[in-house]
Chain A
């Protein structure tokens, strides 16, 4: 028997279905060529597999059907912000005047591109109430790096590189401590209190003469707004440090408040979260960083400047605006394709629409919170922001763990929420519905989760076996790591 299951086709690897003598592209024949490559010339076989066009389409269409997507269903991954991706944005990004231009064209021939960068920059500054923005970071993690490098550069400028300690709350994303450590900072963890917020006294006690700054996610990864944030920023500045804000959750407050009013010095913005550029199965992202006037002059190269409607690109760090810049983060000028999509999204919503976005995101999350509290265990009392965190208390004595519960959701047609993060809550389940879910969709989700919780008592075995309706069952991740098979090879691979 074959291994197809109805609409779900078993699809072999490209290298098993394709062939070395097949191609899906017609190219002109080439006469004998006297090459100019020199002695690194080679005609050796590479081993690439090719497919005709119909075979290519079938291969990837079959693969695509093994993926969950936001277009097909609610995707409640907490802190990932899986919201609807408007198709207008895709269309705009494909206008040839944006997609078919080269980063090093003469400046006179790409005024529109620079205008677009200037336009999105001005929107981001206005929405955040910050003094400056740099558009080049290619993802949130690179944005963090960018912000922390500006802080390091500012400390260098003050001749205070003895300030080595960066404080990071225990609920932070892993990228925060990784970023600080990469830059040579010493990472000290500060505790959360029983309300899921930064323990202000622990923060205060960790400040000494080596204090460089603090990295805070706000709203934080427990889905809560850090209520002491202004106190924290005041103490940070009084102690000679800087406040870095991880803006991964900016979507909870965009259009509702200006982060600049909180006293932050730098914040990255994930265009692929707040401004709905598609996640694409893991990128490409884009992570612009906004800066306070204290850090503005340290931001990276290049810089777009608007001189009365004439746009210039300042690329050389010897130029006067950039003499204190910490340097270049990557080649060229950032994720233009993502800027166009995000700009299309911002223009569509306008300031009024963006406010509605954050209010609806928070409303949806609190509706889930209110409706699920009878069956699941909210980790903290009170209202949440755009996402709601549950602990695994409701699974106590059932023999079912968070992972099993998540896998059972798959059989019910849902992508699971973020699980086991943040680390401060045992067996955490972090649910972010986003503003693009309807009430009907939320009600269906609520009913499904409540039914699953009811089933815990009657049939806990089914959770251990889940998922069963997927193209493939639970995978052995230990074997994958212990005996890594990371590419196809000619010899048949034997499953151990």
Chain B
């Protein structure tokens, strides 16, 4: 077998050194009633070529986003990833190393994580960030959990325009601790209504921006009111590229920011692996979950980096830890930080504008059609369209004609409310005029058939 270096001769010699004649002598602790030679209804080993063929055939049953005009978002966005990114993350020293427990031989990982933390702090407008979480949804749930620890209050107010699956994750992870969660999915984001829900028992208000339906919001007033009641503002960002032309969450008064960072450096991957970002104010850093890298000096006074503030973590605190999270999204954070280093300030802002421009171009085309109604007054690169037929039927029919046209809102909502005609349509720098013309042409056909 190509991955196993021991030869039969090696195995025999090693057994002699150990003093056994049969491998199973090392398994004597296994209870007698348990078989050491069970039957598996599975095939035997295969060559590289055979495995490649099997998996390629399965992959070919999917329509991928490089094959057709593509307009899906709703928490996962397609962007061009520079070739450099994938080359570097496949370097052995990054791909095949462990969590940097031995800092003297892990400075590569530690330094890029320190740089990553700085970049995340900068784009979210916060003081400090951790070294990443699993994805945007678990970041958000961890942020809620963190707000509860800080405020020692249980009630959670969630904006109606938070991604419904994010709300489900909060509900799963937090309601098990018998908390009160106020969330009713709807298209209507009203600051006044959120404010009316904040009282002295509220730990935090969770707001997505741009929201699930694509609209952009100013949050200063909400932040100010929340703070006056001793509650924290958690801002969730699904499309990180939006931060190139919007006020940062920190600038608007956020206390904790939770983001999905997939848009930078990470392909769609059918939903994972992605990368959760999490940042906060200096004063809350000891309640921040996950790995954190800090700067220090070595015994010669040279600057270096280590994992730090470990007393928050489960391997030291065990049942008193801030979270049970152990692994983060190391390699995804490397892809994120390389992509953002390549972009830099100029590139990041330009990319942001290109995305916005692509969405405006599609918006302008859609406005000329009577049968579609764009619901948004503001948006970044995604907006909500009311289509004349059921949106899930619409996307299936568009897919048959060779366009992946968007995400039906009803796909994500299992709450009450009639969302059946609403479609989320995302644009990015990958979309050409040809893509947009096709979208319009085929959408008309589908609706008038």
A179 touches B324 (CB 8 A): yes
Instruction: Name, among A84, A261, A331, A366, the residue most crowded by chain B CB atoms within 10 Å (CB to CB).
Output: A331
Q: Which residues of B contact A477 (CB under 8 A)?
A: 296, 306, 308
Q: Which 7 A-B pairs have the closest CB atoms?
A: A50-B344, A97-B59, A332-B271, A280-B331, A103-B271, A112-B61, A284-B273
B48 touches A348 (CB 8 A): yes
Chain A residue with minimal CB distance to B304? A472
B341 touches A50 (CB 8 A): yes
Produce 1/0 per residue, B108-146, CB < 8 A to A: 110110110111011100011101101111100000000
Partner of A69, one of B93, B345, B414: B93
A20 touches B344 (CB 8 A): yes
Chain B CB within 8 A of A383 CB: yes
Bound-state CA distance A314–B308 (Å) is 41
B17 touches A371 (CB 8 A): yes
Bound-state CA distance A315–B410 (Å) is 12
B91 touches A281 (CB 8 A): no
Chain A residue with minimal CB distance to B246? A40
Chain A CB within 8 A of B440 CB: no
| Segment at the B interface, from A85-93, A203-211, A455-463 | A85-93
B326 touches A127 (CB 8 A): no
A69 touches B331 (CB 8 A): no
Contact residues, B209-229 vs A (CB, 8 A): 209, 215-219
**How far apart are A72's CB and chain B's nearest CB, in angstroms?**
7
A284 touches B380 (CB 8 A): no
| Segment at the B interface, from A252-260, A291-299, A391-399 | A252-260
Bound-state CA distance A332–B67 (Å) is 22
Q: Which residues of B contact A317 (CB under 8 A)?
A: 414
Q: Which residues of B contact A307 (CB under 8 A)?
A: none
A184 touches B411 (CB 8 A): no
Chain A CB within 8 A of B420 CB: no
Chain A CB within 8 A of B41 CB: yes
Chain A CB within 8 A of B151 CB: no
A363 touches B11 (CB 8 A): yes
Partner of B353, one of A30, A42, A63, A88: A30
Once A50-B344, A284-B327 are accepted as A-B contacts, the answer to whether A40 and B217 lie under 8 Å apart by CB is: yes
Contact residues, A397-436 vs B (CB, 8 A): 406-407, 410, 415-416, 421, 435-436
Partner of A13, one of B20, B34, B38, B111: B111
**How many residues from B make CB contacts under 8 Å with A?**
215
Contact residues, B234-285 vs A (CB, 8 A): 243-248, 251-252, 260, 267-273, 275, 285
Partner of A261, one of B34, B134, B324, B331: B34
**How far apart are B391's CB and chain A's nearest CB, in angstroms?**
11
Chain B CB within 8 A of A7 CB: no
Q: Which residues of B contact A1 (CB under 8 A)?
A: none
Contact residues, A1-57 vs B (CB, 8 A): 3, 11, 13-15, 18-25, 27-28, 30, 33-51, 53, 56-57
Q: A36-B356, A181-B321 are in contact. List 11 more A-B contacts (CB 8 A).
A: A27-B354, A33-B357, A112-B58, A113-B62, A115-B58, A127-B40, A283-B134, A330-B138, A331-B75, A366-B20, A477-B296
Chain A CB within 8 A of B45 CB: yes
Chain A CB within 8 A of B291 CB: yes
Chain A CB within 8 A of B196 CB: no
Contact residues, A281-322 vs B (CB, 8 A): 281-286, 300-301, 315-318
B96 touches A85 (CB 8 A): yes
Chain A CB within 8 A of B444 CB: no
Say what secondary structure dominates the interface of chain A: loop
B273 touches A224 (CB 8 A): no
B298 touches A473 (CB 8 A): yes
Bound-state CA distance A303–B88 (Å) is 35
**How far apart are A32's CB and chain B's nearest CB, in angstroms?**
10
Chain A CB within 8 A of B360 CB: yes
Chain B CB within 8 A of A193 CB: no
Contact residues, B43-66 vs A (CB, 8 A): 43-46, 48, 50-52, 54-56, 58-66
**How far apart are B220's CB and chain A's nearest CB, in angstroms?**
9
A257 touches B35 (CB 8 A): yes
Partner of B3, one of A95, A301, A348: A348
Produce 1/0 per residue, A432-456, CB < 8 A to B: 0001111101000000000000000
A340 touches B55 (CB 8 A): yes
Chain A CB within 8 A of B201 CB: no
Once A331-B136, A383-B25 are accepted as A-B contacts, the answer to whether A407 and B104 lie under 8 Å apart by CB is: yes
Chain A residue with minimal CB distance to B348? A48
Produce 1/0 per residue, A109-152, CB < 8 A to B: 11111011001000100110100000000111110110001001
Produce 1/0 per residue, B297-320, CB < 8 A to A: 111111111101111011111111
Chain B CB within 8 A of A64 CB: yes
B317 touches A30 (CB 8 A): no
Q: Which residues of B contact A276 (CB under 8 A)?
A: 3
Chain B CB within 8 A of A162 CB: no
B93 touches A72 (CB 8 A): yes
Bound-state CA distance A320–B210 (Å) is 34
Chain B residue with minimal CB distance to A62? B108
B18 touches A46 (CB 8 A): no
Chain A CB within 8 A of B438 CB: no
Chain A CB within 8 A of B150 CB: no
Bound-state CA distance A186–B193 (Å) is 39
Contact residues, A269-285 vs B (CB, 8 A): 272, 276, 278-285
A38 touches B377 (CB 8 A): yes
A105 touches B350 (CB 8 A): no
**What would be 25 A-B contacts, judged by CB atoms less than 8 Å apart?**
A23-B343, A24-B342, A37-B379, A37-B380, A63-B107, A69-B97, A85-B95, A90-B90, A97-B59, A102-B270, A109-B62, A174-B321, A225-B30, A227-B31, A256-B36, A284-B329, A328-B169, A329-B173, A333-B270, A351-B43, A352-B44, A366-B14, A383-B18, A415-B98, A487-B114
Partner of A115, one of B61, B171, B327, B359: B61
A439 touches B6 (CB 8 A): yes
B55 touches A284 (CB 8 A): no
A99 touches B269 (CB 8 A): yes
Q: Which residues of A contact B273 (CB under 8 A)?
A: 138, 283-284, 286, 335, 337-338
**How far apart are A274's CB and chain B's nearest CB, in angstroms?**
13
Partner of A370, one of B18, B135, B296: B18
Q: Which residues of B contact A88 (CB under 8 A)?
A: 48, 51-52
**How far apart are B13's CB and chain A's nearest CB, in angstroms?**
7
Bound-state CA distance A301–B172 (Å) is 10
Partner of A48, one of B114, B123, B251, B291: B123
Bound-state CA distance A369–B135 (Å) is 40
A300 touches B172 (CB 8 A): yes
Chain A CB within 8 A of B27 CB: yes
Bound-state CA distance A350–B67 (Å) is 33
Q: Which residues of A contact B61 (CB under 8 A)?
A: 97, 111-112, 115
B302 touches A473 (CB 8 A): yes
Bound-state CA distance A94–B290 (Å) is 28
Partner of B123, one of A46, A106, A145: A46
B40 touches A126 (CB 8 A): yes
Once A15-B118, A472-B302 are accepted as A-B contacts, the answer to whether A56 and B95 lie under 8 Å apart by CB is: no
Chain B residue with minimal CB distance to A495? B297
Q: Which residues of A contact B114 (CB under 8 A)?
A: 13, 486-488
Bound-state CA distance A110–B320 (Å) is 42
B84 touches A475 (CB 8 A): no
B172 touches A343 (CB 8 A): no
**How far apart are A127's CB and chain B's nearest CB, in angstroms?**
7
Chain A residue with minimal CB distance to B50? A347
Q: Which residues of B contact A327 (CB under 8 A)?
A: 168, 171-172
Partner of B325, one of A59, A141, A301: A141
Instruction: Name, among B114, B123, B244, B309, the residue most crowded by chain A CB atoms within 10 Å (CB to CB).
Output: B114
A110 touches B62 (CB 8 A): yes
Chain B CB within 8 A of A167 CB: no
**How far apart are B40's CB and chain A's nearest CB, in angstroms?**
4
Q: Which residues of B contact A39 (CB under 8 A)?
A: 218
Chain A residue with minimal CB distance to B320? A181
